[in-house]
Amino acid sequence: MTGTRVARRTGTAPRIGESARRPDGVPKATGSFSFSSDLRHDRMLWGGTLRSPHPSARIRSVQIGEAVAVTGVHAVLLSDDVPGQKVFGLEHRDQPVLAGDVVRYEGEPIAIVAADHPEAVRTALRAIVVDYEVLTPVVDPMTVEETESIHPDGNLIRRIHLRHGSQDVVGDVQVEGTYEVAMQDQAFLGPESGMAVPADDGSIDLYVATQWLHSDRDQVADCMGLDPEKVRLTLAGVGGAFGAREDLSLHVHLCMLAQHTGRPVKMVYSREESFHGHVHRHPAQMWYRHHADRDGTLVRVEARLILDGGAYASSSSAVIANATCFAAGPYRVPSAEINGAAVRTNNPPCGAMRGFGAVQTCFAHEAQMDRLAKALGMDPVELRLHNALVPGDKLLTGQTITGTAPVAEVIRTCAEHPSAAAIATDPLELPGGTGRTADPGHVVRGEALALGFKNLMFSEGFDDSSEASCRLLDGVATITSACAEVGQGFVTVVQQIVREVLGVDEVVLLQASTADVGSAGSTSASRQTWMSGGAVQEACGQVRVQLLERLATQCGVDTDDLVLADGQIVSLSGGLEVDLAVATEEPVEASVVFRHAPTWPLDEHGQGSAHVAFAFSAHRAIVDVDTELGLVKVVELTTSQDVGRVLNPMQVVGQLEGGAAQGVGLAVMEEVLVTDGRIRNASFTDYLVPTALDMPPVEIAALIEQAEPGAPFGAKGIGEAPAISSTAAVAAAIRNATGLNLPRVPVRPVDIVFPEGAT
């Protein structure tokens, strides 16, 4: 079931800066790609999960007798059956593998079942009797800190009270606003799925779609009471991630069932179950006050941020750090007080999603910038240019930007890019689309620009590393890395890097597994091209040096005299020409652990050089709004992004389009509806993501290429920025069209039709 991905170089295979087609592109488009839900084993059992129907309840008892008696059932396991540590978590181990005496969110797992047929699993799950004492869920994040704790760790997950610069600064002009971002889902297409296979020696192989194999491995091993080397994780085909696969879901459950039954066990979540089975983007409540001089110079920003973390911590403490650190946007702000808190409620757990805290605050700080421009009578683009960060400026954290920060370039290129958006006449292209609700006369147009940024890679002193090895044999480079390919394009970029450094024809990237190599770190935080790409680049560089040194010794020439290019090693002084395949009949190998420049924790005032580097982006949105029905058509999105260097142009375009689509979704339709702790739209029938008629063409005005120091080939991660400023731009364009405040995303029809007290 595992395999290797092989790319044969034809002599024109793409190198750095050229468009490389994904090896998994055609298989995914034609249906032959093997996703984690396609895993099969001759002897496998099917697993299933019993989940709490209540957001908050005490469990008085669980009766499993009838479930165990169902024909074909091999195991029914409860909290007491967890062999090791009972809790897991990315940053704080506070989430039970299986709920024991209390459930804290709707859908929390209580029991797991293995049986020889999915129908037997369902029958057994229905036969489990849980006696609940139903409690009133704690669901209001604004008051939860004054409420009785719903978890031994308390209701406050993390507060950062950031104070930057003088605290008694008052601006000539002040604008104030309250903003809200709803809960967004990552909406990946491949539901949680995987298979655990027990081995005779008590060890377990787990095949699963994930973003960080080694973090999963360590948590699973602890919960299984096994040494880490007894748990081997191998990446199964990932059907999208976007942050939703950072936390464990079915991992420990599968291993428990496999160990208990001695059989391979497979589990696949249904779509509804998936909505309960992974974390979402934090809903945010935000208050802001901006102070500026009359010429538009920002002098102070105040903000209070509340993120609803839901029942368990997940990555909330890092998300609130991002929200707080980047709360004012990519602007020079000499004085600030930002009070950010992530709190615990009985709502669905929230954690990582593309943009990671910067999406929520971008929506707010960009609305504030537009409001300020209006108060000043200033052009909103000019206001942004006037305050744009430049290298050498300080962030709210006091950190000086030492890398690249082409903020003004990003703004200018995006704002100046000509628009191709014509006025539509086809009703399909008007707000309402196929519903044929609008005629051109019912529509008003709006346009606005927004700017956003976030950090690249892990922050706050985290020891962030990636290991990779390169083995060059017979002219073929084999790369070993545990980097999770989740769609971001590591499989293409790694080949480009290897070809660039070694000039080889063939690159083999082994299946990512914890068995073969150390951690690559998480496929998140826009970090893998830099981190695992950097590790591969260094490993290849070492192989190159070793090879040339070996050949120089063998041939009695000076190493400096040798050049490796296009599958040949030649001496500059002439006389030596060796085919790379011949030169590597004996293998050359190197293994590297790559680290980025160190960072430091934030101090008690939220100050410190906590971040490695930053990526900036701008979006300009043009929207048509049917104000009478409150329906919106996003007509055009234009973007400029700070990318460091373009490694694979095709992949860059794909990331910029895909990220913008998630941003458009959050702006106009995507919302996990939660009432009293219950999700009301756990399906793709009712959780709406943009279709081809909702997603406009993405015009790329500019990819700003300023090589970032320390990054491989100067390339910055590009995956998250597109999801940050796009939402803010679309919301601002709807404001521009309607003249309404629209302090909340997604903007719903009622927000436009009944702007006062929308319900």
Partner 1 sequence: MLNGRQHGGVSVTIATSLEDACAALAVEPCPLVLSGGTDLMVEVNRGSRRVGDIVVVNRVPELVGWRRKGDQLRLGAAVTFAEICGSELESLVPALAQAARTVGSPQIRNVATLGGNIATASPAGDSIPVLAALDAVLELRSAEATREVSLRDFITGVKQTCLLPGELIEAVRVPVLDGPQEFCKVGTRNAMVISVASLAILANRGSRRITVGLGSVSPAPLRASDAEDHISPHINWDGGAIPDEATIAHFARLVAGAANPIDDHRSSALYRTHAIRVLARRALSRVLGRLSAT
Residue 445 makes contact with partner 1 by CB under 8 A: no
Kindly state the DSSP code that residue 126 receives in the 8-state scheme. H
CB atoms within 10 A of CB 126: 12
* Distances in whole angstroms, Cα of residue 673 to Cα of each of 185, 347, 676, 678, 688: 10, 11, 10, 8, 11
Closer residue to partner 1 (CB): 358 or 438: 438
Least Å distance between CB 523 and partner 1?
A: 29
Distance in angstroms (rounded) separating the CA atoms of residues 308 and 282: 6
Residues 406 and 412 sit within 8 Å (Cβ to Cβ): no
Question: What sign does the dihedral 223-51-308-526 (CA atoms) show?
Answer: positive
| Binding status of residue 190 toward partner 1 by CB under 8 A | no
Q: 133 or 686: whose CB is closer to partner 1?
A: 686
Q: Quick check: 697 binds partner 1 (CB under 8 A)? A: no
Residue 65 burial by Cβ neighbours in a 10 Å radius (0-12, 13-18, 19+): exposed
Q: Which is nearer to partner 1, 188 or 356 (CB)?
A: 188
Choose the binding region for partner 1 from 97-105, 291-299, 456-464, 750-758 (rule: CB under 8 A): 750-758
**Minimum CB distance to partner 1, residue 669 (Å):** 6
Among 436, 563, 597, 676, interactor with partner 1 by CB under 8 A = 436
CA angle 22, 26, 32 (to 5 degrees): 120
- Within 104-133, the residues that bind partner 1 by CB under 8 A are 117, 119, 122
> Smallest distance from the beta carbon of 429 to partner 1, in angstroms?
9
14/495 Cα distance (integer angstroms): 8
Q: Are 4 and 508 in contact (CB under 8 A)?
A: yes
Count the neighbouring beta carbons within 10 Å of the beta carbon of residue 386.
19
Give the binding range for partner 1 (CB under 8 A) out of 39-47, 548-556, 594-602, 746-754. Answer: 746-754
Among 183, 631, 700, 721, binds partner 1 (CB under 8 A): 631
Name the residue among 58, 59, 60 with its Cα closest to residue 135.
58
Nearer to partner 1, 364 or 635 (CB): 635
Asked if residue 693 binds partner 1 (CB under 8 A), the reply is: yes
**3 state SS of 676:** coil
Q: Categorise residue 476: left if φ over 0, alpha if ψ from -120 to 50, beta otherwise.
A: beta
Q: What are 159's strand-pairing partners?
A: 341
Residue 686 as a binder of partner 1 (CB under 8 A): the answer is yes
Contact 689, 202 (CB under 8 A): no
Determine the interface stretch with partner 1 among 358-366, 486-494, 580-588, 630-638 (rule: CB under 8 A): 630-638
Applying CB under 8 A, among 23, 165, 240, 433 the residue interacting with partner 1 is 433
Q: Is 435 in the site for partner 1 (CB under 8 A)?
A: yes
271 binds partner 1 (CB under 8 A): yes
**Residues 687, 654: Cα–Cα separation, whole Å:** 23
Non-local (6+) Cβ contacts of 81 within 8 A are: 98, 256, 260
Q: Applying CB under 8 A, which part among 36-44, 190-198, 280-288, 744-752 lies near partner 1?
A: 744-752
Residue closer to partner 1 (CB basis): 690 or 712: 690
By C-beta, is 22 or 633 nearer to partner 1?
633
Q: Which of 486, 669, 700, 723 binds partner 1 (CB under 8 A)?
A: 669
467: helix, coil or strand? strand
Measured distance CA(341)–CA(706) in Å, rounded: 35
Distances 398 to 322, 391, 392 between C-alpha atoms, Å: 14, 13, 11
CB of 665 to partner 1, least distance (A): 10
Q: Does residue 749 belong to the site contacting partner 1 (CB under 8 A)?
A: yes
Each residue 508-537 as x (binds partner 1 by CB under 8 A) or -, in order, gives: ------------------------------
Residue 8: CB atoms within 10 A of its CB come to 10
* Least distance in angstroms from the C-beta of 695 to partner 1: 9
List residues binding partner 1 (CB under 8 A). 117, 119, 122, 270-272, 428, 431-439, 442, 628-631, 633, 669, 673, 680-681, 683, 685-686, 688, 690-694, 748-750, 753-754, 759
